[in-house]
């Protein structure tokens, strides 16, 4: 019944869930016809769907040969990431693998059969992936191999190095996510669906990745602690506790929230770059691909801000909320409105006693000034009593059914991927 209560508080989300299930998803995620694919490419898309929690559907909605290039790009980086994550591989073996991984793209028989990770199929059947890589246009191959090389070097660098300073946090996020944004941008331009400036403006593309990665790191504090991983920068958390794990102690909850608020404020400084980047995109499928994860990220940060639950359990946005964002974020003006509204939600939660309150309010004001023309007011949609009555009846009759729909939207709540 808790789920029903949540839905009754957000009737527009019930409507959007039903609309999404009944065909609204086709607007942002049209299904791809796989009949014309080669057997090896069809296998690659199978691996894409098996390993991607959030990107598979929007990758398959991309136009033209860009779709295949991004699919292979994703699988190559997923294979690289699987090597990095596998704690059963010794450092003596892992570091050379990360350094040389880009060269395996040109070795038809290379594969790795000793991984214990859940996504090990992309390593065990790497010959299929590398075959389709070599079938891509050279302009795509060059981008993918270059990013794979740089990311492998960066991953190896941080295997035995902790994230101490904010500068190192940015550097780590650059290696694991910023490079993805840069690579994707270069692919967009190479496809000629987007202007050359998209691939040339490295700073904006990097910010696109950093915003998503920092959101993941902030949200996943507790999960990373359980797994023995530490990605919060020491420069920040050491101002509040002696050890990063101390933030999870009940007696430190106030300091923990202040620490998190400072990191969220840091992440929000990438939003102006995000808006500038999105405003330059011309192709609808590319815009959807880029915009959806970004609006999911801002919604996630708004849910996390000043929220003690980050240190006690899981914080995620509602499925109906995710579906609404996916269906709305199809043009730059809609994205600006979404950013404005979630920035306002954060602004309303800023405690006057929070050490970062002034900086948080300043970046909120900056983003809001970019989001709407001066003097424009944003208000939530208002619904008539009849509409509310109909929605409540619908919710009462179908809440159990709706709990099972829209798997894609639920997966998108987990913004981005490592």
Q: Which two tokens stand for residue 65?
A: 């040969």
Burial of 126 (0-12, 13-18, 19+ CB in 10 A): buried
Over residues 20-37, the mean pLDDT reads 61
d(CA 91, CA 89): 7
Same fold, 24-161 and 215-374: yes
Residue 3 has a pLDDT of 52
Is-contact 108 131, C-beta < 8 A?
yes
Question: Of 190, 202, 201, nearest to 150 (Cα)?
Answer: 202
Residue 54 has a pLDDT of 72
d(CA 13, CA 16): 5
Per CATH, the number for 24-161 is 1.10.600.10
- Residue range 208-225, pLDDT digits in tens: 999 999 999 999 999 999
pLDDT at 85 over 60: yes
Give DSSP secondary structure letters for 320-354: HHHHHHHHH-SSHHHHHHHHHHHHHHHHHH--TT-
Question: Where do the H-state alpha helices sit in 220-331?
Answer: 221-226, 234-237, 253-268, 271-280, 284-304, 319-328
Q: Which two tokens stand for residue 248?
A: 């999870």
Residue 418 has a pLDDT of 46
Helix/strand/coil for 110: coil
**Residues belonging to the chain:** 418
What confidence category does residue 394 fall into, taking pLDDT thresholds of 50, 70 and 90?
low
d(CA 8, CA 395): 7
What confidence category does residue 55 fall into, taking pLDDT thresholds of 50, 70 and 90?
confident
Question: Of 274, 47, 298, nearest to 178 (Cα)?
Answer: 274
Residue-wise burial string across 355-394, b where 16 or more C-beta atoms lie within 10 A, e elsewhere: bbeebbeebbeebbebbeeeeeeeeeeeeeeeeeeebeeb
Over residues 193-222, the mean pLDDT reads 98
pTM over 0.75: yes
Lowest mean pLDDT among 28-37, 107-116, 141-150, 214-223: 28-37
Percent of the chain clearing pLDDT 70 (strictly above): 81
d(CA 353, CA 9): 30
- Per CATH, domain 215-374 is 1.10.600.10: yes
Q: Which two tokens stand for residue 11?
A: 């009737």
- Residue range 271-325, pLDDT digits in tens: 999 999 999 999 999 999 999 999 999 999 999 999 999 999 999 888 889 899 9
The catalytic residues are: 172, 219, 229, 289
Is-contact 219 299, C-beta < 8 A?
no
What confidence category does residue 57 fall into, taking pLDDT thresholds of 50, 70 and 90?
confident
What confidence category does residue 147 fall into, taking pLDDT thresholds of 50, 70 and 90?
very high
Q: What is the dihedral of CA 123, 189, 31, 134, to 10 degrees?
A: -40
Question: Of 278, 290, 283, nearest to 193 (Cα)?
Answer: 283
Q: Which two tokens stand for residue 327?
A: 């269906």
The ranges assigned to domains in the chain are: 24-161, 215-374
């Amino acid at each position: 019944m808790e789920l029903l209560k949540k839905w009754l508080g957000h009737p527009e989300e019930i409507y959007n869930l039903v609309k999404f299930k009944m065909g609204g998803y086709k607007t942002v995620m049209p299904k791809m016809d796989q009949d014309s694919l080669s057997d090896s490419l069809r296998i690659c898309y199978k691996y894409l769907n098996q390993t991607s929690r959030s990107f598979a559907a929007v990758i398959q909605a991309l136009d033209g040969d860009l779709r295949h290039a991004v699919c292979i790009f994703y699988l190559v980086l997923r294979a690289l990431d699987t090597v990095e994550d596998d704690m059963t591989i010794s450092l003596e073996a892992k570091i050379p693998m990360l350094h040389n991984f880009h060269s395996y793209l040109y070795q038809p028989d290379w594969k790795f059969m000793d991984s214990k990770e859940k996504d090990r199929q992309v390593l065990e059947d790497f010959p299929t992936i590398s075959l389709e890589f070599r079938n891509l246009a050279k302009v795509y191959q060059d981008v993918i191999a270059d990013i794979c090389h740089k990311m492998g070097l960066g991953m190896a660098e941080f295997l035995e190095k902790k994230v101490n300073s904010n500068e190192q946090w940015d550097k780590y996020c650059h290696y694991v996510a910023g490079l993805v944004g840069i690579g994707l941008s270069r692919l967009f331009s190479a496809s000629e669906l987007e202007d050359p400036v998209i691939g040339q403006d490295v700073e904006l593309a990097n910010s696109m990745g950093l915003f998503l990665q920092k959101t993941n790191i902030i949200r996943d504090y507790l999960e990373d602690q359980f797994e023995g991983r530490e990605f919060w920068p020491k420069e920040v958390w050491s101002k509040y506790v002696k050890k990063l794990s101390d933030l999870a102690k009940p007696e430190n909850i106030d300091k923990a929230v202040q620490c998190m608020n400072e990191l969220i404020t840091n992440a929000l400084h990438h939003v102006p770059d995000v808006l500038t980047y999105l405003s330059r995109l011309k192709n609808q499928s590319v815009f959807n691909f880029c915009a959806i994860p970004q609006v999911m990220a801002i919604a996630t940060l708004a849910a996390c801000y000043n929220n003690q639950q980050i240190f006690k359990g899981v914080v995620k946005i509602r499925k109906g909320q995710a579906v609404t964002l996916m269906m709305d974020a199809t043009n730059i003006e809609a994205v600006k409105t979404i950013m404005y509204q979630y920035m306002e939600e954060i602004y309303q939660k800023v405690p006057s006693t929070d050490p970062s309150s002034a900086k948080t309010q300043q970046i909120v004001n900056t983003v809001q000034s970019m989001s709407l023309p001066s003097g424009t007011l944003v208000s939530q949609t208002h619904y008539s009593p009849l509409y509310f009555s109909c929605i409540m009846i619908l919710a009462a009759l179908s809440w159990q059914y709706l709990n099972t729909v829209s798997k894609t939207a639920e997966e998108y709540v987990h913004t981005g991927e490592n």
